[in-house]
Amino acid sequence: MSLIAEIQGLAQKTLQEVSAAPDLAALEEIRVRVLGKKGALSEILKKLGSLSAEERPAVGAGANLAKREIEDALELRKNRFESEVLEKRLASEQVDWTMPARKPFRGNLHIVTQTTQKILDVLGRLGFETVTGPEIETEYLNFEAVNIPKDHPARDMQDTFFVGPGTVLRTHTSAVQMRVMREQKAPIRVLCPGAVYRCDHDATHSPMFHQIEGLWVDRGVKMSDLKGTLEFFARELFGAETRIRLRPSFFPFVEPGAEVDVSCFACKSKPQASCRICKGTGWLEILGAGMVHPRLFEMAGIREPGLTGFAFGLGVERIAMLLHKVPDLRLMFSGDSRFLSQF
């Protein structure tokens, strides 16, 4: 029997086996047995060496043709089996369209953003408008314009990031208040939220944090107006039973100035030594405030007699830590979704 006839016989037999194969495993067995490296077709082709140079091309072409026919038959049969398996699986699997869909992941506002919005909403009900200013500020507006001259000892209290000659990353949003007083006429009632920067980093301080400063300038504004505003703010934020107290303190841009405390909302009116919030004192410091220093009116070019005003400033992270009992400020900037998703 010639090699061509042997190859054709193998191809015909294999095609019949492929047509009768019951499953994918049987097809794979046929492929390996016939077309594998040690398969029947390879064994036949080993005899090419015994043929003359004239006979070899015809036998080689016949072998390639037989191989393609077998491969095509295997692929066709394989696709049919796979289609049948898929159809059976689809027929057996049923989808209950009445079941609720899987809820997609939804992000939430950062705890600092939430606290900022809450504070702005509370004070906005008293008529305060929100204004913003640049975070890169002139050294003059950041210091001299708010009564902190170059030789003033209060200047040493703030470690400042200098961007360039005469330019800093603002250390407070008081510069925004000065911009407003220069551009607007009384009455002025504004809130100035935003990021501020100082060289400080530990469990309760960050080199970048957020402040909200308030300013109210009008005729006849008194210290009692400041106290009433802060009492309303504290009760809306910490609860109706919250009390405040003002302790004399120094700030260059106000006179007189005061540190403002709120009664501990954890242990209420009965201070407890075990209270982790107030450490048994019954009070929590939340902000600084006071009457606008007359020097600021001069620096802003306000000459109208009878105008007075008050200002206050608070740290948003400080309020957020108190409200949510956050033990370490650095958690707020960690980017840890386990922490942030709680809020």
pLDDT in tens, 150-171: 876 655 555 788 888 889 899 8
Higher per-residue confidence, 18 vs 202: 18
The answer to the question of residue 36 being in a domain is yes
Reply yes or no on whether the pLDDT at 331 is more than 60: yes
Residue 121 has which token pair?
């909403």
Q: Which residues contact 328 (CB under 8 A, 6 or more apart)?
A: 203
Question: How many domains are there within the chain?
Answer: 2
Query: 35-44, 58-67, 198-207, 239-248: lowest mean pLDDT where?
Result: 198-207
Residue percentage of the chain with pLDDT more than 90: 34
Mean predicted confidence (pLDDT) in 42-65: 76
Identify whether residues 87 and 137 lie together within a single domain. Answer: no
Identify whether residues 161 and 251 lie together within a single domain. Answer: yes
* Angstrom distance (rounded) from CA 171 to CA 313: 12
Residue 39 has which token pair?
């398969």
Between strands 129-130 and 188-197, the pairing is parallel
Identify whether residues 9 and 145 lie together within a single domain. Answer: no
The answer to the question of residue 321 being in a domain is yes
The answer to the question of residue 232 being in a domain is yes
Identify whether residues 285 and 168 lie together within a single domain. Answer: yes
The answer to the question of residue 272 being in a domain is yes
* Angstrom distance (rounded) from CA 94 to CA 40: 45
The answer to the question of residue 296 being in a domain is yes
| Among the listed residues 288, 269, 276, the one whose alpha carbon sits nearest the alpha carbon of residue 322 | 276
Q: Which residues contact 126 (CB under 8 A, 6 or more apart)?
A: 189, 229, 232
Q: Which residues contact 68 (CB under 8 A, 6 or more apart)?
A: none
The answer to the question of residue 104 being in a domain is no
CA-based diameter of the chain, in Å? 125
Identify whether residues 244 and 120 lie together within a single domain. Answer: yes
Residue 300 has which token pair?
């802003």
The answer to the question of residue 286 being in a domain is yes
* Angstrom distance (rounded) from CA 302 to CA 305: 9
Range of the domain at 51: 3-92
| Among the listed residues 221, 219, 195, 230, the one whose alpha carbon sits nearest the alpha carbon of residue 209 | 195
CATH number, domain of 226, equals 3.30.930.10
- Residue 22: count of CB within 10 angstroms of its CB: 8
Reply yes or no on whether the pLDDT at 328 is more than 70: yes
Identify whether residues 74 and 169 lie together within a single domain. Answer: no
In 188-338, DSSP assigns E strands to 188-197, 208-219, 244-251, 254-263, 283-292, 307-315
Reply yes or no on whether the pLDDT at 269 is more than 80: no
Query: 126-130, 252-256, 334-338: lowest mean pLDDT where?
Result: 334-338
Q: What is the mean pLDDT of the chain?
A: 85
Q: What residues are paired with 285 via a beta bridge?
A: 261
Identify whether residues 205 and 285 lie together within a single domain. Answer: yes
Final residue of a domain: which of 92, 126, 146?
92
Identify whether residues 198 and 160 lie together within a single domain. Answer: yes
For residue 49, the number of C-alpha atoms closer than 13 Å in the C-beta half-sphere is 3
Identify whether residues 188 and 314 lie together within a single domain. Answer: yes
Question: What are the distances in angstroms from CA 201 to CA 86, 148, 158?
Answer: 61, 24, 13
Final residue of a domain: which of 92, 121, 153?
92
The answer to the question of residue 97 being in a domain is no
* Angstrom distance (rounded) from CA 204 to CA 225: 31
Identify whether residues 225 and 260 lie together within a single domain. Answer: yes
Identify whether residues 65 and 205 lie together within a single domain. Answer: no
